[in-house]
Each structure stands twice: as C-alpha cells, then as structure tokens.
Structure 1
Amino acid sequence: MAATAFAASPLAGVKLATRSAVATRRTSRAAPVRAAADTATATASIGETFAALKKRNQCAFVPFICAGDPNLDATEKALAILDEAGADVIELGVPYSDPLADGPTIQASATRALASGTTLQKVIDLVARVSPNTKAPIVLFTYYNPIYQRGFEKFVKEIADAGAKGLLVPDIPLEETPEISRICKQNGLDLVLLSTPTTPIERMEKIASASNGFIYLVSVTGVTGVRTGVESRVEELVKKLKTVTDKPVCVGFGISKEEQAQQVVQWGADGVIVGSALVKALGEAPSPEQGLENLEKLAKELRAGSNRAGAKAPGSAGGFFANLFGKK
C-alpha cells in the first residue's frame, strides 16, 4: 500500500504487513460473551458524553491502559479506578506483538500482557464484566491483524455486545473505512480515526467527516511515549481541524503531566488523551497494588489538568484544582 494511505493514522510512511500476513497463532476462542452486557446500566455514548461536557465547558480526560498489564485482575481494578477518578472516555488497548504506532513503554506493556496470558477473547470478556458498572464509555484500541483473525463483523458485534462504545484501529487507512464504519454503525459503535501533523488539510477534512465520536489528533510525528513538553504546533493543528469540523478533537501522544494537559486544553482541544505515563505508572510498579496506587494518583492529577477553568462540575470538593477546574 502507498504510504499516503496511512495519513489517517500515526503510521504514515510505515509499511505494514498485508492483511493476509497475519500471525499463525489464532486468538483463543471461548464461550460467547456472557449476558452481563444485557443488564448493563445506560452508559452514555461517546457523542452524548462530549455533548454533556460541552454544556459544562469541560474538556474530556481520556486515559489509555493496556489490558492484561500486569494482569487482567489489575486491569479490571484499574478501569474502576480511572472511572472513579473522572475519566470521561476510557481507551483500552488490546495487547499485540507488533504495535507499530507505539513507543517502548506501551510495547513493553503489551509484551507483559501477552506473557500473562491475555488474549483478545479475554479482553472482550473483561469489557463485558466491567461495562455494566462503568460510567465512562470504553473505546477498544487494537491493531488490524487480531481483528482479521476473528473476522471483522464478528469482532465488532462481540465488542458491541460486551458494552464497548467505540473502536480505534491505527493501521486501517482512510480508504478502507467506509465499509468498516458501516458495520460499526450497525452495531452502535463509533469508529474513531486519527489525524497527524503531516496530514494535508484536504485529507484532514475527509478524516474528520469519516470519524465518529471524536477525532484523535496525534500531536507528534512518531510513536507514543512520554515527552518533556507538548509541541507548540499542536495549537495550529487543533485550529486547522476545527476549521473543517465541529466534532470533538482530542489530542494524544506525549502528554504525561498536568501542566501539559492544561496547555492542550488552552489551545482549544476538546479532550486530552494520556497513555504512556499511565501505562508506566501501572505496569512498571514493583507490585500490582503499588501500580494501582500510582495510577490513581496520576489520573486524578491529569483529570484536574484536563478541565477548563470555570467548568460546571457538580459535586466538586475542596482543594485548589477541585475548586478551579472541577471534577467529574
């Protein structure tokens, strides 16, 4: 495929394996997703979530963690912690052996998760368990090969039945999204697309039109990972995207600190996506218990930094950031 086909993803310029070049080891099959999702409470859709945030003049906090790191039990607890810490949307990664868009931190996280026995089926089962009690909509992040092994229509139906609200596949080019988007819409799932710093404005407009839920704006040319600061050109990128769409724009890649989140919010982003810093806090701790403590502390700091001053947040408690920014 031509490199330009991947301008909708952070993999522009990276040659991917063909769809047929999938891993020979197939994802383990288990019983169909349990009926947990049938009794789920009414988690808001991604669109409803952003509409409510807009009314409160709030910016979304979108944390990412990799399922199964350090183990699935810890992931289940981590999802509850993120939800209670004020996550507005939660991005849950399916571990994959060749995560081309990810830097060393998330690559290592995926390796640990696979070593702990995490499979796609186990991730789907996990979503089915947690979604009934999770306020924040869950967006599943996965590369295409695991989906290919399972069959796209089957995969989409299973994750939607489990309670996921969105899907993000970084190595699907824009040109292949119409049919995929149709299948997602049939199952009530938002297909989130990515725009990069090198995406031309004409293609950016097409990406924005095709993306549902929100648009993931990649802040750097490169892979995921903690960085010392957010590049100033992100402000221009946010403004460019907002000239072609009124859909929410969420900025990710490289945001790891409260002040970085605040900077992105000041530049007009509708959401702040944080992955590597949270993955590191959870997965590289001496124990799962310590990792969960680290995750909660960092998530609360980032939640504070992700809100706009003057936000209308019912239930805010004392403290500088609680009073200034509010809490979900």
Structure 2
Amino acid sequence: MLGATFPLGMVAGFTVGGAMVQRASPARLVLAGLSLIAAGSHGFALGMDLVVFAASRLVMGVGSGCLWLGITFAALAAWPGQEYRCVSRIYAAYSAGGLLGPLLGAIHGVRGPFAAYLTLVLLAVVPALMLRLPSGVGAFSADRGALRSPGFRAAAVAIVVAVLSLGMFEGVLPLHFGTKLDQSRIGVLYAATSVVVAVAGVVAARWRPRRVLLVSTVLVVAGFAVAGASSVVPVWIAALALAGAGIGLANTGGTGVLVDAVPAPRIVTAMVLWSQLGILGYLFAPLLGGPVADAFGYGAVAVIVAVTALGTAAMLVRGDRA
C-alpha cells in the first residue's frame, strides 16, 4: 500500500501539471515538481511514522508527475520539429537514473537513502533555475479531439505495455531471482539492465516509431517468457537484456507515435492521459503479475505482457489502415 501511493500521486501530478503548463512555462513546472519531491523526501529523512511515510510518498508522486510533464514540455518547446529524437535522449537519462536507485538503497536504514536522494534533488534545482526556453506560455493547449485518433490509441496501448513490463520487472521478477541471487547481486543485475534500456531508448530514434514498437513487443514478451521459465542465472542475464531492450524501444516508440499523431501545440490532453495510462500500468503490474506467478509460475507472467503487446500490434495495424 505504501508503494502504491507513489503512482497514485503521479496520476494526480499529471493532471496538475497539464493544467499548469497551459498557464506557466515548463521551467516553472520543473521547479514545482522538484520542490514537491524535496518536501516528500524530508518526510522520509525526518519522519518515523508509517502515516508520515505514506503522505510523503504521495507528495513525491505528485511532484514526480509535475516534473515528468515539465521535462516533456520543455523538450517540446526547445526542439520543435525534433521532438521524437530529443525525447528519446531524455528517456535514456531517465533510464540511467535507474542505476542510482539500487546504489542509494544500499545505504543503511530509511533516513540515509532519502537524505542522499534529497541532496540529488536539491542539486537538480540549479540547472532547472538556469533553464532558458522560448516563450512557452499559452503555446500548449488542450484538445479532447486528439484522443479519438488511431495514433493516440496505439501510443496509449504501447506505453501501457512498456510501463506494465517495467512494473513486472521491478515488482514480480525479483522474487524469482531471489531464489538464486542475494539482494546486492539482484541490484547489480537491475543496474546493468538499466544501461540496456537507456541505450535502446536512444538507438530507437533512428527508426520509424511504429516499426520500433513492433520490434519491442517481440523482445519484451520473449525476455519475460525466458526469464520466468528458467532458473539459470546466465539465462536470466540474457533474458533481461532482451526485455530491457524491448522496454527501451517501447518507451521511445510510444512517444514517437504520440508525437506523430497529435501536433505539439494541441498535445496537453493527450500527453496527460497517455502518461496517466502508463503509470496505471505500473500500478497494476504487481497486482496482476503476483497472483499469476503464484498460481501458474513466473513463466506465465509473459502471458500478461503478450496480451497487452498484441493490443499494441492490433492498434498499429488499424492505424495504418486508417
């Protein structure tokens, strides 16, 4: 329940960020997100009660949602016409952040990791204050009509696949890996996979987003199927390389399909809903994957990923016909 408060806060943060970006610059939205994340980090660094932790994690979720949209719209404002390529680089940095998570978590206790994280957040305020963008106030508007386009639907299903897979990867498979690996080795394995995700996210921008998505579905399903069915560590490493590459491709490809389908000046509604659907995939991944793995084995987790991946393929084909 404590873990679930963060994605729930992100859903609210996307709504707040979508409203704010139409009235203020993306740079201010970035600073607002960092401020909320810092406030939540203080709760973990100074608090001692589970209620305080839950409230702090909720605040951090809201801040993370604002920060994500602030970064996204800052990219759209800074690089008009180059959105697909530039956002893919941001995804790579996002994935590289996954390298630091296990390292911070290795610090003893609760206060230590969050105090270290708070330090990083405060350091991030400096470049955010120096961010200079073209005048973006009023440059982005909401358009519900964009939600009816086949491209938006394909992008929505794609981001659900990507983030659902990430949620399965982080929330379900560690229990499987724990049968052969201790916590530090699992952390190293996940940090290495983050590198694969980052590289795949950058490389994906070289190809058409629809083709990238189709390739990503194959890699993700294959990776999860092999990782879940095997109990051999070298096979796990190879399987996570496949799954990580697929997740990186899906992140970038889903963004590319969205940017192609909806013009940037009218993308606020589509971007907010697209982001919310993605984080809901992260929320529901362990809720679905845990019982399935418990009942049918970890190999069956790939079935859940495969069903959503087939939805992406169907939406892409339908969009091409339209």
TM-score strictly above 0.5: no
Give the number of the structure whose residues are more often helix, by fraction.
Answer: 2
TM-score with structure 1 setting the length: 0.28
TM-score with structure 2 setting the length: 0.29
Structure with bigger gyration radius: 2
Give the number of the structure whose residues are more often strand, by fraction.
Answer: 1
